[in-house]
Chains A and B, each alone.
Chain A
Amino acid sequence: MNGPLSTATIVVALLLGIWYLIRSALNRAPGNTDLWAMLGLSALVAVLVVVAVVGLITGDRPSETTTFIGYLITTVAFAPVGFYLARLEPTRWGTLILGVACLVLPVLVLRLQQIAEATGG
């Protein structure tokens, strides 16, 4: 959970988030590039969550397994929901929705890391 994949996800999400905030400030509706970028981030997050689930099955379980699984579900759903809502709102505010989603994702990944560190014995 604390490998380079998590770090990459956090960095990509933050960069994309800043990009969307700038685009929204410049009054741009989400374009094709923006939406594809969000799908790319969704795929990256999905890989991260799959790795975490495999870890749950094969390795040590965090002491708060239920919370961990709850966070995993939220995390994997977050970017696609942002994508869906941004499609519904083809204005600058749709771009801001993408930005908010991208800035919340690193928090979710950090929480996952915190919970994963506390492994139950």
Chain B
Amino acid sequence: MAEPTPTHTRPRDAALGTGAGRVLLLVYGIFAVSAGARAGVQIATKFSEAPLAFLLSAFAALVYLAATIGLAVGGTRGRLIALTSCSIELVGVLVVGTLSVLDQEAFPDATVWSRFGSGYGYVPLVLPLIGLWWLWRNRPGDR
């Protein structure tokens, strides 16, 4: 008889399984919650002022949430989710950052990604890089 395999094994690259990964998840979680709460308040109270910026904030919050979950669970699917959302974050912070510096009219109210995340201590610029580095360091078939 074969050994009974446990039904719920956590993939080895799940960030939830290591201390450093847990810190990464904590920071990602803080960003998901803060961006989400801010977008929620903005959309609920003054949506007409800057719909583009507020929808962008809400989108950013969803991407942070997806990255948090993807990094946490790991495995093939988790890696795919995390890779996609970290890439969107990096492109987002670079594109929106550049646009907000060039054309301030289009972004009258700050989003997480405005001015490369300067309102958030540039953490939005660094966070996707750390996320991608995490995925690279824990890539499969390299142990």
Contact = CB atoms under 8 A, between A and B. Distances in A.
Interface of A: 64, 66-67, 70, 85, 89, 91-94, 96-97, 100, 104, 107
B126 interface: no
B41 A89 contact: no
A42 B70 CA distance: 31
B41 A66 contact: yes
A93 B41 CA distance: 33
B4 interface: no
A17 B37 CA distance: 25
B91 interface: no
A94 B37 CA distance: 26
Interface residues of B, number: 12
A60 to B, nearest CB: 19
Contact of A70 (B22, B27, B41): B41
Given A67-B41, A70-B41, A93 B30 contact: no
A94 B121 CA distance: 22
Given A104-B30, A107-B121, A97 B23 contact: yes
B141 interface: no
Contacts of B6: none
B37 A70 contact: yes
Given A70-B37, A107-B121, A89 B27 contact: no
Nearest to B121: A107
A97 B26 CA distance: 8
B106 interface: no
A107 B19 CA distance: 24
Given A70-B37, A70-B41, A93 B23 contact: yes
